[in-house]
Amino acid sequence: MAAKKTSKGQMINRNLLPNLNDNFYERFRPKPKIEVKTNVLVALIIFSFTLITYWITQNRSVTFWDVGEYIACSSILGVPHPPGNPLYIIIGRTFALLGLGLPHALVVNSISGLMSALAVMFTYLFTVKLVSMFESNKSLIITAGIIAALYNAFSFTFWNNAVEASVYPARDLVINSTIYLTLLWVEKSRNLSHQNILLVIVYIFFLGFSIHQTALQTVPAVLFIVLYPIFMANLNKSSFWIRAVIYFILGLIIYFTFIEVGKNYDIPDLAKIATGIYFFIITYIHLRDRISNKAWLLGIIFVAIALSPHLFLLIRSALRPFINEGHPHNLELFSDYVLRRQYGVVSFLERRATAYYQFTHHFLRYFFWQFFHADTIAGWIKMPSALIATLARLVVLFLGFFGIWFQAKKNKHSFIYLLSFFLMSSFAMIFVMNLSDAEVRNRDYFFVSAYYLWGVWMAIGSIGLIKLIAGNKSKLVKPLILAFLFLPILNFTSQYVIHDRSEEFIALDYGLNFLNSLEENAIIFTNGDNDTFPLWYAQAVYDPNAFENIYPATDIYSDQESEKAVLKAVARKKNELSGIRPDVTVANLSLLNTPWYIRHLRDIEGVLFNIPDRHIDDIRPMRSDRPRQITISSPNNEDSFTINIPPNKPLLIKDIAAIQIIRDNYGRRPLYMAVTVADEIVFHDFLRNEGKVNRIVSREQPNQTNIERLKNNLKNVYSYRSIFDDSVYKDENMRNLITNYGAAYMRVSQYYHRKDDLNKAADYLAKAIRFIQNNTRFYPSLVQMYIEAENSENALKFIDKILTEDPQDIRFYMQAATIHIEEDNIDQAFDVFEKAISHQVTASEIISFIYYLADHYHEYTKGIEALTKISEYDDSPALQKFISNLMTAKDSLDNSITPN
């Protein structure tokens, strides 16, 4: 068949494109109804506004979860956790180098703001294209784009990602730009022409894969839209459907077959790879005459180029940087790394939670976080937060579903385009991610594209309502546009406070306070992301807000092997890192389950580990049916102790590795466990608390404390920036982690309580509860402690503070009155009850206490006045009897002192 070269230089065989004439295509195309200059101007305004907002609210340092790791890896060109995000790290390193001397945290965080603002700009652009397929009013088309962009920009999760170092803004830019380019291709393509746009889409998608693998989530939607006209042309042909069903069944057969093959050859992702190759072959077979061989070849070349940043992982890992997770320096470890085998194999078929749980607890719960922060709005208008949350959900659902109905009614093809992207980023992602019912953190970032695509439907619903309300009255359109713009602006203002991270230094101080608790050359065992990544960041990155404290090492014995290893490691780290405390080794227990990390600690961190290298890969979890004892001693056995492993106690690889590290390094380097380590293996009674860290010592005794070190850390070493600043929003994770400070102060309080120094015990308890959520449960104990210390002044001050916050708490009126009575201040005791009555706190205990007070101290008049006030809204017989008794007693007293 003769091929014809198009004006775009693409080889297309027109004889193989039946039924795909221009008229057929016209129904499927966006229309260029907005002038290019106007469209570009509005897009740039949206980009600029969001970029400035992100910059103003951006974190200036580090925050929790992966942020510290990403900033540190960008600063030192490290290798982050699998699957590596190589292009993101290269971009981060480039920005850091070109940052004009600005702190690397500031620069790398700003990448997220830039990528997010670009993504929002593309949301505006692709919304305009979708709406142009059914709307002719230019103002409404632009309005829909603006509203969609604003809902996108200031939705909860998207804004969270935009103000901290994260891979998800770049991923969202990939998704949004490819949606726009897909619709641009649909608009321009004639008989599958403009294949250059398709090549750009392919290239961007796989660049996105080098940033985060979930960037490919909308690939099936793009493929569907490209083939959609062909699908529609063959809609009524039975052969088409028969073939489609056969292909689908064959795909399932291939998937299930290769699951078993993958298990036999230890290639867990083989089924996914084989199925992907199968569908690529099917696509190629049916489009090989419609898309030129040159385009296919260029597509393969572009994919290879886009994936080439992964070579960085192989090359950089071989040089063994400070952060080198997975150590993917050879093909075996590289394969394990990219396929995320460190986290175990996740099968689509073996569901980690019920479908209902995955949809409601994960997807739907996060969905209702996205728009209109209920607590903020409730604070403005003094209404219950639950009511505002319900109303907000109704608004979000109504606008979205109305937008779906309106778009489907006006142009089913526009609706199908948006629906295909939404389905792939929502239900397909729920299925593919297969989240468990025991996730260690919220996973809303996986579904963020689905949430802002719903925002596009909310925007379409808004212009649908404008048209419905305005009817034929065109003069109403502009006022209604302003009215509906109020909703995304309300969302923006309600979300602003909780996304303003510009003064948040909680995570930075969290890392600094861990490191600065430690003696020189210490090894600290940590638990997970939040007690590891902030420490790595503080060690690797210069931060002008950081500070350093180093305690001299104590109880350390001379050992040349250890000293040589430590000196070598510290010298290397000083040369590579720009932060504080390069002398400290952070040993993450989760990573200790992997052989590569054990070798990393041994070779790079100078940690002694006396299991031969050839046996490290053979370490396996174990459980002994009999008790075992392991002796741990310093060099020359100058200090030693024995740990007991009870029978049938399971020991994971990390436990075995940690015990070995402690055996080989005890007495040579100070050894600590972070207080965040929940499983202390068998060392619980050999830990001496010093604040945020527990030092491993030879003395066996529960609840040991180095009280002087602990007090010094709390008073002179630790920094608590942002914690008591009410303008800085603290999410649930922050509030939970802050509690560790409260626990440290609580230990000092308990120490002084045991010493019968109740004043100091109470003072430290008062400081402790400032860090603790729902701390009202400690109030009675604190007040009682001040009372026992005969410090009525502080007790009354604290009671007054409590009653200011919660004037309904009966306990503290009773305690305050008791204090005044013991000091013979009867009038003040009545004043306390007057305050209670003014807040209508009139429980039976209050009434009985007033009666006792009046009767016992012969203050009948005051008692009658107080109880009479209560009787205005309490006419119980008991109350009336108390009043009657007091009046009788008063009359009797009056008669006894009246002269004859």
State how far the Cα of 43 lies from the Cα of 146, in Å rounded to an integer.
9
671-674, strands of its sheet edge to edge: 585-588, 523-526, 671-674, 693-696, 687-689, 704-705
Residue pair 127/144 in contact (Cβ under 8 Å)? The answer is: yes
DSSP state of 643: E
Which residues touch 301 (CB under 8 Å, ≥6 apart)?
none
Spatial separation of the C-alpha atoms in residues 796 and 533, rounded to whole Å: 43
Q: What is the pLDDT of residues 508-536, one digit of tens each?
A: 999 999 999 999 999 999 999 999 999 99
Q: Is 629 in contact with 644 (CB distance < 8 Å)?
A: yes
Q: Low-confidence residues of the chain, pLDDT below 50?
A: 1-19, 900
Q: H-type helices in 321-446, by residue range?
A: 331-338, 355-357, 365-367, 374-381, 385-410, 412-425, 427-433
Q: What is the pLDDT of residue 231?
A: 73
Per-residue pLDDT, 151: 97
The one-letter amino acid code at 173 reads L
CA-CA distance, 33 to 23, in Å (whole number)?
Answer: 18
The pLDDT assigned to 16 comes to 39
Ranges of H-type helices in 195-319: 195-209, 219-233, 238-264, 270-287, 293-307, 310-318
Q: 34 with 127: CB under 8 angstroms?
A: no
Tokens matching residue 189: 């393509």
**Predicted local confidence at residue 9, as pLDDT:** 40
CB 432 within 8 A of CB 351: no
Dihedral sign of CA atoms 618, 622, 625, 629 in order: positive
| Percent of the chain's residues with pLDDT above 70 | 96
In sequence order, what DSSP letters do the residues of 757-816 get, joined into one string? -HHHHHHHHHHHHTTSTTGGGGHHHHHHHHHHTT-HHHHHHHHHHHHHH-TT-HHHHHHH
Q: How deeply is 702 buried, as exposed, middle or buried, from its count of CB atoms within 10 A (0-12, 13-18, 19+)?
A: exposed
Contact 693, 524 (CB under 8 A): yes
- pLDDT number for residue 149: 98
Q: pLDDT at position 21, please? A: 56
CB 183 within 8 A of CB 145: no
C-alpha–C-alpha distance, residues 873 and 871, integer Å? 5
- Could you say which DSSP state residue 330 is in? S
Between the alpha carbon of residue 202 and those of residues 104, 269, 300, 404, 603, the distances in Å are 32, 22, 9, 29, 41
Name the DSSP class of 898: S
pLDDT of residue 144: 97
How far CA 283 is from CA of 179, 237, 247, 256, 410, in Å, comes to 20, 19, 11, 21, 31
pLDDT value, residue 229? 77
**For 5-63, how does the pLDDT look when each residue is reduced to its tens digit (9 = 90+)?**
444 444 444 433 444 555 666 778 899 999 999 999 999 999 999 999 999 999 999 99
- The structure tokens 């469209």 sit at 39
Which whole-number Å values give the CA distances from 76 to 61, 319, 322, 579, in the listed order?
Answer: 16, 12, 8, 11
Could you tell me the pTM of the whole model?
0.89
Cα gap 715→724, rounded to integer Å = 16
User: How high is the pLDDT of residue 5?
Assistant: 46
Amino acid at 551: Y
The token duo for 420 is 């295909």
Nearest to 73 by CA among 537, 574, 601: 537
- Cβ of 25: how many Cβ atoms within 10 Å? 16
pLDDT for the residue numbered 164:
96
In angstroms, the CA 257 to CA 271 distance is 7
Q: Are strands 640-645 and 628-633 parallel, antiparallel or unpaired?
A: antiparallel
The pLDDT, as a whole number, for residue 241 is 73
Partner residues linked to 659 by β-bridges: none
Q: Are 403 and 458 in contact (CB under 8 A)?
A: yes
Pairing of strands 523-526, 687-689: unpaired
Determine contact, residues 534/413, Cβ cutoff 8 Å: no
- If we measure between CA atoms, which residue out of 387, 492, 396, 450 comes closest to residue 156? 492
Under 8 Å between Cβ of 420 and 225: yes
Radius of gyration of the chain (CA): 34
